[in-house]
A and B are shown apart, each in its own frame.
Chain A
Amino acid sequence: MFWQQLVNGVTMGGIYALVTLGLTMVYGVLRILHISHAGVFALGAYIGVVALRLSPNLVVVTLLAMLVCGLVGVLMQRWLYRPLLGSSRIVPLIASIGMFTLMEDLFRLAAGPYVLPLPVRVPFGLDEVTTSVVTGNQLVVLSSAVILLVLAWFVINHTRLGLAWKATEQDFETAAAFGVNVDRAVAMNFLLGSAIAGAAGVLVGFYYNSVYPTMGSVPAYKAMAIAVLGGLGNVWGTVIAALLIGIIEAFLVISPVGLFLPRDSIAFVALILVLLLRPYGLFGRR
């Protein structure tokens, strides 16, 4: 029971990590709270539903969702955030919330209020491999999460692009003076973050076999809490915080504590504690 419960928690943690990653990447570079990231996540799931008509293969569907969401992320950066960069930080935040609400309602108008299924086919029949500790569907989510997180880790730490992000994060103008194409770096940041959110949308849609207009609303605020827990902008802190929250939730909801502390509040209780005790996040250093 303990091991199965741990796997349950790690699976949720993996999902949280994928949803939060793009959010924290964007904050790291632009210092914008990108709420509509959760809209991109839901968009990924809807692209998945459309992509099913081309191929039922999970890999193909995920790649298509990543491509479209990445591009939408870049467009958002170009048309929504760039014109607002000079203004006070509350302005892009409000624009982002507005964008998120708009996206939710667009999904509803385009695809209807109903939950749509996402019956993808998983390569190698991975979803049929069920043991006493982990189910096939959990295996699919976990392995995909590992692949995507390793990809993000590689880009951030082992490419010139990752270096450009670090430089841009420190100081826009100095980075530009040293030959970093800041505009391109920021666009690529949105591209990767949004692509991962799109992949997370497909995975969540597959895991629960459900895609619906408001599927981004819980991730919208929970991802925010997890991002702060991990230290906004700190990618690895975010992944660890996401796993921690997933595991704590799995064990807490079935304990007597779960009767008066609902699951979705746990991330926020942790958030309050962290803000009081370690304002720069669990792993922040500043």
Chain B
Amino acid sequence: MRSSGRWVPLVAVILLVGLLGTTALGAEPIKVGLHAPLTGFAAADGLSVRQSVELAVKQVNDAGGINGRPIQLVVYDDRADAKEAVAVAYKLIEQDKVVAVVGGSYSAPMRAVAPIYQQAGIPMVAGFAVHPDITRAGDFVFRCGMLGPIEGAAAGEVAGNVLKAKTACQMTMDNDFGRALAEGFRKRAGELGFKILWESLYPLGEQDFTPYITKLKQLNPDVVFTSGYYNEAAQFCKQAKDLGLKAQILGEEGFDSPKFIEIAGKASEGVIIVTNLNRDDTRPVAKAFIEDYRRLYKMEPDMVGASNFDALLVIADALRRAGSTDPRAIRDAIAATKDLQGATGVIRRFNKLGESTKPIQVQIVKDGRFRYFAEVGDPAIITPPEK
């Protein structure tokens, strides 16, 4: 009997450590995954994605985390490549056991991984990938950004109803992103009744636009709707100015980068884009994002970053409401998102397909900065499909 009594203090210590352990477990970080194209052709976007999501995590954790637990971000590079993204998805699911994922990469890799997260039952919120098929993978996949065809339709709306164009041409980048935009623009042009004189496809990474611009000059449309990432966009605008193209250039979110203005220089003045971030937004969340980003990283924020910042906010908000880290509960909480303030706008709700509805921002380059030009809020244009 005496000998067993000797164990009492030890058992107490073990129990105490155990208790401390559980409180320590209470502060155990919640792992959230992030896909970002950190290297390769999209590396600049990848950097913006990583910095913005890290900023969102920092803001959430500084404000007390998720019911006391901090979010821990697990970032992997997918090089904007579908094959790499698949490997990243399995790593996040099996090795890191994340509870939710921010899909901060391009359309092609996000399309490839959406069914994987669906099957594994891990919710993914895509930041700025625009392809319609991504959310069609199932009920675990959501999108914060815009759908390509909707963004394209908004551009068509700007061309027809704001700029009063009678004729237009389309310079379409030949990938999922460019084609999805072109489809929406074409449809809206048909509805508004302005004419598309010519539609050209150019390959991703194109640098020399002079042949296309020479032809555009000859056709002389009122508006040229151009899709492209900031480098293609800058080359197009620069060479269009050199060759003396008179048409109004109308771009999209791919133009939305400080790099576009830096490379295109004076040729960027007056270019109008449809995008997801209003630089002149006065809501506190948007202002905090823009100002913190400038202060922390000494560079201009862009829509790529803002969209993924919002994706993390959606997950954080859902984690708070779910009160659990069970992926199923998180998914249900995301699906029940209501009027969440994000940097890109107020996310009213996610529809059955996992799409969000937000007004589309129209910005114009003035004195080397993106400024407010208009907003497309017509529900007939911006409401995403339910199936």
A interface, CB within 8 angstroms of B: 1, 4-5, 8-9, 11-12, 105, 108, 112-115, 117, 119, 130, 135-138, 208-210, 212-214, 218, 249-251, 253-254, 258-259, 262-264
Q: A-facing mask of B199-214, CB < 8 A → 1, else 0?
A: 0111101111011101
**Nearest B-chain residue to A132, judged by Cβ:** B244
Does the CB pair B211–A249 fall under 8 Å? Answer: yes
Shortest CB–CB separation between residue A118 and chain B, in angstroms? Answer: 10
**Nearest B-chain residue to A127, judged by Cβ:** B242
B3 contacts chain A at the CB level, 8 A cutoff: no
Does the CB pair A263–B214 fall under 8 Å? Answer: no
Can you list 25 A-B pairs, Cβ within 8 angstroms, ordered by A?
A: A1-B217, A4-B243, A9-B211, A12-B210, A108-B39, A112-B47, A114-B43, A114-B47, A115-B230, A117-B263, A117-B265, A119-B265, A135-B242, A208-B235, A210-B231, A210-B235, A212-B231, A213-B43, A214-B40, A218-B205, A249-B211, A250-B211, A253-B202, A262-B202, A262-B203
Known: A113-B44, A115-B263, A209-B263. A253 touches B211 (CB 8 A): yes
Does the CB pair A130–B242 fall under 8 Å? Answer: yes
Shortest CB–CB separation between residue A11 and chain B, in angstroms? Answer: 7
B39 surroundings in chain A (CB, below 8 A)? 105, 108, 113
B218 surroundings in chain A (CB, below 8 A)? 1
B321 contacts chain A at the CB level, 8 A cutoff: no
Does the CB pair A5–B211 fall under 8 Å? Answer: yes
B262 contacts chain A at the CB level, 8 A cutoff: yes
B338 surroundings in chain A (CB, below 8 A)? none
Q: A-facing mask of B246-264, CB < 8 A → 1, else 0?
A: 0000000000000100111
Q: Roughly how many angstroms separate A117 CA and B214 CA in the complex, as a whole number?
A: 25
B interface, CB within 8 angstroms of A: 38-41, 43-44, 46-47, 174, 200-203, 205-208, 210-212, 214-215, 217-218, 230-231, 234-235, 238, 242-244, 259, 262-265
Q: Give the one of A8, A9, A105, A259 with max B CB within 10 A.
A: A8
Known: A4-B243, A135-B242, A264-B203. A113 touches B212 (CB 8 A): no
Does the CB pair B263–A259 fall under 8 Å? Answer: no
Does the CB pair B234–A210 fall under 8 Å? Answer: yes
Contact of A1 among B43, B215, B231 (CB under 8 A): B215
Does the CB pair A136–B215 fall under 8 Å? Answer: no
Shortest CB–CB separation between residue B84 and chain A, in angstroms? Answer: 15
B242 surroundings in chain A (CB, below 8 A)? 130, 135-137
B202 surroundings in chain A (CB, below 8 A)? 253, 262-263
Q: Roughly how many angstroms separate A254 CA and B234 CA in the complex, as a whole number?
A: 20
A117 surroundings in chain B (CB, below 8 A)? 262-263, 265
Q: Roughly how many angstroms separate A218 CA and B182 CA in the complex, as a whole number?
A: 26
A251 surroundings in chain B (CB, below 8 A)? 211
B41 surroundings in chain A (CB, below 8 A)? 214
**Nearest B-chain residue to A213, judged by Cβ:** B43
Q: A-B pairs with the 6 shortest C-beta distances? A: A113-B43, A8-B210, A250-B211, A135-B242, A262-B203, A254-B215
**Nearest A-chain residue to B37, judged by Cβ:** A113
Q: Roughly how many angstroms separate A117 CA and B38 CA in the complex, as a whole number?
A: 21
Shortest CB–CB separation between residue B321 and chain A, in angstroms? Answer: 36
**Nearest B-chain residue to A113, judged by Cβ:** B43
Q: Roughly how many angstroms separate A250 CA and B206 CA in the complex, as a whole number?
A: 12
Q: Roughly how many angstroms separate A214 CA and B205 CA in the complex, as a whole number?
A: 10
A218 surroundings in chain B (CB, below 8 A)? 205
Does the CB pair B211–A8 fall under 8 Å? Answer: yes
**Nearest B-chain residue to A259, judged by Cβ:** B201
Q: Roughly how many angstroms separate A135 CA and B201 CA in the complex, as a whole number?
A: 24
Q: Roughly how many angstroms separate A4 CA and B244 CA in the complex, as a whole number?
A: 12
A119 surroundings in chain B (CB, below 8 A)? 265
**Nearest B-chain residue to A5, judged by Cβ:** B214
Q: Roughly how many angstroms separate A53 CA and B262 CA in the complex, as a whole number?
A: 18
Known: A1-B218, A108-B39. A254 touches B206 (CB 8 A): no
Shortest CB–CB separation between residue B276 and chain A, in angstroms? Answer: 21
**Nearest A-chain residue to B174, judged by Cβ:** A262
Shortest CB–CB separation between residue B299 and chain A, in angstroms? Answer: 9
**Nearest B-chain residue to A3, judged by Cβ:** B214
Contact of B206 among A135, A138, A213, A263 (CB under 8 A): A263
Does the CB pair A11–B210 fall under 8 Å? Answer: yes
B259 surroundings in chain A (CB, below 8 A)? 114-115
Shortest CB–CB separation between residue A132 and chain B, in angstroms? Answer: 8
